[in-house]
Structure 1
């Protein structure tokens, strides 16, 4: 199993209490820490503009600006977004931005892409909020435009949602033949069909093994229909991790996360804390987390992206995961 990790950017209230002036230094130091070690293959951010689960005035740093900054601040780790929202940027423009970041990074960019879901920020930024079928059809068109742009240096598509006519994307990405696509989401009729056609990676299920098995079966069916080998696609998932040696120590960590979040979440607090509750198999002891990841690996998960809500304040849990969990799986 291969591993990536999220760098806190504020979206999940994971930079609260840190002076905004110092937040970039915090993110940069964590990115460099991951880059200097050997445990993590990649670092990731979310493509969102407003905090979740409730919008607030707390900082949420923009994903593609961070991609460029991390590209210049690191030298080894690959760089991804989980995931870029197709509706937030014209795809020809996005292809140009991504190609530039690929050059800045020396060919280390991943393209996480999806249809988008966070209605509040869609409407707040003036994007409307199309129905799900329209968002997914737009995703398909956008992926086709980016694929053309990266592989040929230009793109033309007279689509329902996007129209580009000889959009020049030079220089083309360093990576040959293209920047890898991570098609994110588990929609069975459209998203996974898009993934079967275009993706080098998929991302779905959020660490739930039974859901993963079901969605992976659907993906296999779409690949079979296209005549594509299902194993060409690396199947990934993402997990929330709070880890320690004993259950009591884990409970203390969860309580500390809760205390930091509670002043900001209001009525959404209880729902948000379910991400770190007793039913989450990657919130637990080293043995419990390792056992769950072994089961995920057996189910076919090839790559896991770990989110640590404590990272900006305390890296001891990250260090424990690096030293005791990753070596058992990789």
Structure 2
């Protein structure tokens, strides 16, 4: 949903995107669960081996907290990118999310990526007592949350129209370490809405073969999503190269 009340400024490509646009980079999501010393050791070895990023999922019922994990690793790493893959927008108030991201961006010296998704596990919503709304309503909420984050981080002059969140907080201080913004990643492979949201709002896209990562299976399907994303980018007046395209895959380990 385009917020017609606030014209979109010209898109400024994030330095993280520009630095990686012509490269193939590798990251790992999660790692040892429930054992903090083991996770710290695992991520330290990742950094030593030259991996580019560590990503934390957001399933509070199933595993350690996404943001507490990233905050801890901000203090134990030096150059690894740290990101959420992905944070469910329904699990935190947008002001709390904006503040948490600002804090971790500062703690990490400007290495955070905020990955967002609309949520896809209904039983997890039920277990946490969070209303499970239809896909379209959750997609509309994502537009609003991104607008609020931009406003609360000082990048946008006015908040978006309040449809799901009655937020009256002023922009937060201090501003993000990263310029022009903390990079945003939006996950999903839907061609009509999700990739349009990537083109409108995000610095990076992410999808994969598994149903939880968009269900985009096969080379031709990936190429189709890339073509669709480029078309959406042109519609918003930005270069397709200003979106970092990322893919989630699940490796099969055959031997230790």
TM bin, normalised by shorter chain, reads 0.7 to 0.9
Residue aligning to 2:38: 26
Partners of 1:35 and 1:231 lie apart in 2 by 27
Residue aligning to 2:48: 36
Partners of 1:153 and 1:108 lie apart in 2 by 21
Give TM-score scaled by structure 2 length.
0.83
For residues 1-330 of structure 1, what are the structure 2 equivalents within 5 Å? Answer: 1-8=24-31, 10=33, 20=34, 23-38=35-50, 40-51=51-62, 60-152=63-155, 156-206=159-209, 208-243=218-253, 250=254, 253=255
List runs of 5+ in structure 2 lacking aligned partners.
Answer: 1-23, 210-216
SS at 1:182's partner residue? strand
Asked whether the equivalents of residues 7 and 31 of structure 1 are also in contact (C-alpha less than 8 Å), the reply is no
Asked whether the equivalents of residues 155 and 167 of structure 1 are also in contact (C-alpha less than 8 Å), the reply is no
Asked whether the equivalents of residues 81 and 111 of structure 2 are also in contact (C-alpha less than 8 Å), the reply is yes
Residue aligning to 1:323: none
The CA deviation at 1:152 is 4.1
The CA deviation at 1:9 is 5.2
Q: CA RMSD in A?
A: 1.8
SS at 1:143's partner residue? helix
Give TM-score scaled by structure 1 length.
0.65
The CA deviation at 1:211 is 2.0
Partners of 1:157 and 1:165 lie apart in 2 by 11
List runs of 5+ in structure 1 lacking aligned partners.
Answer: 11-19, 52-59, 244-249, 254-315, 317-330
Greater Cα radius of gyration, structure 1 or 2: 1
